[in-house]
Chains A and B, each alone.
Chain A
């Protein structure tokens, strides 16, 4: 039952042209190596879902793999804009990008609804906000008990969700620790889930309330040490903030971006991630 695969095979078997995909991770544990593998495989016409598209979707959008993005914050956190995504929205380069924009609360609730098998999410939100006027998927329902008008958005149900985590045991149970974000909901909302992990261990050594995804919720696991860089893996290595700052310059220019992708994604394999985190390993 255990489905440990190479990163290449894990992506090739689970991410297909035209899929709705969620490469999730809330600042922490972003599956960058898996995103790079999707870029190398040239997967096309994706609808990408993610609360904070981050540089992983900036790169996929810049490579023209994405037809639609569903998101809630399209920034490089603490740095500024996502410049490849902005170029696609403002100038349709390298192709037009359809966007469906929400708030974080809406996305979080929508993933939770997806995981819970509900058709939509209901929450108190968007009051007085313009997003409801430009996104037809933001609607409202009336509480049958109090009469309060509440926001409603469709559940998120990706074809495949991809996450990064600290470790898996030999059977394929996966432990997620630290800022756990929306990853558990993204996995449980999806038809298939792919997980990259830092390492495989005999025993997850976690308490009874830890965030563990049982092996039978996961389609494939690939071991990729450093697979979240320049995002980070709590307990293994720190966030590489200087790389996020540098991305602002690389992504500002179409040619610089293309060169960067060739040198750092297309011409290398997932093994380089281990080297990239050498000087970032936590003292602990």
Chain B
């Protein structure tokens, strides 16, 4: 715990949650995206539609799922559909406004690698791979990305394009025939970033409380651009922090082997 009263991880999750609105239909990835989407649902966006790729539509879990298909996602969903339907009708059909992804490696144009570090055929590290992400990146209306900053993670050149962001920047997406907006926000543990309207390079628009420009640059593998009207991310509210911490506590208890305690 920092002396700010919250951790970098907490401000990242809460800043990401704030980026979501009540009207969003959100394709949720596991980990930080899942925490952010559920904090949004439990605070300012009670009617947000959360969809996990296992087929659960409009789910409202009491604890964060460990996998994309925990039973509680199905039990609390409006409906659950088969996986081919999820990918064909709902994702490819253009029904999902926000895709929320994490990354092992990310470049300044929002291209994501979760497949392999090193050469594909002789990998230094073999990662899990894309799962639903390649098509989430191209079929959702827009993409939010969340990750902790590090020199290993935020790199000049990713080793493998698991999911296409803005490619080489500019109108590269449109040139490939992709009609969706692609990555529109990057939320890290240090800052909020948005793509430059022309070049599509991620630019820091807001620093989290207590974070300096040097902190951001020291943990980023490319030369960071900052917006002219750089702001400070508002501090977490009491409600946001309590909601996130209660959610994490319920989740930890539920996954450690005991039966899950219910929300108060």
Enumerate chain A residues within 8 angstroms of B56, measured Cβ to Cβ.
179
Interface residues of A in 155-196 (CB under 8 A from B): 178-182, 184-185
- 0 or 1 for each of A231-244: is its CB under 8 Å from B? (1 = yes): 01010001111101
Q: Contact partner of B134 among A78, A85, A103, CB < 8 A?
A: A103
Nearest Cβ distance between residue B242 and chain A, in whole angstroms? 24
Enumerate chain B residues within 8 angstroms of A85, measured Cβ to Cβ.
126
Interface residues of B in 119-144 (CB under 8 A from A): 120-121, 123, 125-135, 137-139
Interface residues of A in 31-85 (CB under 8 A from B): 51-52, 71-75, 77-82, 85
Given contacts A90-B126, A241-B255, A245-B255, contact A105 B70 (CB under 8 A): no
A81 CA / B134 CA spacing, docked (Å): 19
Interface residues of B in 58-93 (CB under 8 A from A): 65-71, 73-75, 80, 82-84, 86-88, 91-92
Q: Which of A3-11, A107-115, A252-260 contacts B (4 or more CB under 8 A)?
A: A107-115
Q: Contact partner of B69 among A77, A80, A124, CB < 8 A?
A: A77
- A27 at interface by CB-CB < 8 Å: yes
A244 CA / B30 CA spacing, docked (Å): 15
Q: Which of B54, B115, B135, B177 has the most CB of A within 10 A?
A: B135
Given contacts A72-B131, A127-B164, contact A104 B66 (CB under 8 A): no
Nearest Cβ distance between residue B258 and chain A, in whole angstroms? 9
Q: Is the CB of B164 within 8 A of A131?
A: no
- B53 at interface by CB-CB < 8 Å: yes
- A205 at interface by CB-CB < 8 Å: no
A134 CA / B115 CA spacing, docked (Å): 12
Given contacts A124-B139, A125-B134, A178-B74, contact A105 B115 (CB under 8 A): no
Enumerate chain A residues within 8 angstroms of B54, measured Cβ to Cβ.
26-28, 179, 181
Q: Is the CB of A75 within 8 A of B130?
A: no
- B254 at interface by CB-CB < 8 Å: yes
Q: Is the CB of B66 within 8 A of A78?
A: yes
Q: Which of B30, B84, B139, B162 has the most CB of A within 10 A?
A: B84
Q: Is the CB of B66 within 8 A of A123?
A: no
- B226 at interface by CB-CB < 8 Å: no
Interface residues of B in 171-190 (CB under 8 A from A): 172-173, 176-178
Q: Is the CB of B255 within 8 A of A104?
A: no
Enumerate chain B residues within 8 angstroms of A232, measured Cβ to Cβ.
71
Q: Is the interface on chain B under 10, 10 to 19, 20 to 34, or 35 or more residues?
A: 35 or more
Q: Contact partner of A109 among B71, B88, B120, B137, CB < 8 A?
A: B88
Q: How many A-B residue pairs have CB under 8 A?
A: 188
Q: Is the interface on chain A under 10, 10 to 19, 20 to 34, or 35 or more residues?
A: 35 or more
Enumerate chain A residues within 8 angstroms of B173, measured Cβ to Cβ.
128
Q: Which residue of B lies closest to A178 (CB)?
A: B74
Q: Is the CB of A242 within 8 A of B255?
A: yes
Interface residues of A in 209-241 (CB under 8 A from B): 211, 232, 234, 238-241
Enumerate chain B residues within 8 angstroms of A93, measured Cβ to Cβ.
none
Q: Is the CB of B92 within 8 A of A124?
A: yes
- A130 at interface by CB-CB < 8 Å: yes
A28 CA / B255 CA spacing, docked (Å): 16
A52 CA / B100 CA spacing, docked (Å): 20
- A129 at interface by CB-CB < 8 Å: yes
Q: Is the CB of B128 within 8 A of A73?
A: yes
Enumerate chain B residues within 8 angstroms of A202, measured Cβ to Cβ.
none
Q: Which of B55, B73, B128 has the most CB of A within 10 A?
A: B128
A23 CA / B42 CA spacing, docked (Å): 37
- A95 at interface by CB-CB < 8 Å: no
Given contacts A77-B68, A244-B66, contact A108 B84 (CB under 8 A): yes
A71 CA / B128 CA spacing, docked (Å): 10
Given contacts A101-B129, A179-B69, 20 further A-B contacts (CB under 8 A): A26-B83, A27-B54, A27-B70, A71-B129, A72-B131, A77-B69, A78-B67, A81-B127, A109-B84, A127-B177, A127-B178, A128-B167, A128-B176, A180-B55, A185-B84, A234-B74, A239-B66, A239-B70, A241-B70, A242-B255
A-B contact pairs, 5 of them (CB 8 A): A77-B30, A108-B86, A125-B138, A129-B163, A134-B120
A interface list, Cβ under 8 A from B: 26-28, 51-52, 71-75, 77-82, 85-86, 89-90, 101, 103-105, 108-109, 111-112, 123-131, 134, 148-149, 178-182, 184-185, 211, 232, 234, 238-242, 244-245, 282
Please list the 10 inter-chain residue pairs (A to B) with the smallest Cβ-Cβ separation, ordered nearest first.
Answer: A27-B69, A128-B164, A75-B128, A77-B67, A73-B131, A242-B257, A78-B66, A130-B161, A105-B87, A108-B84
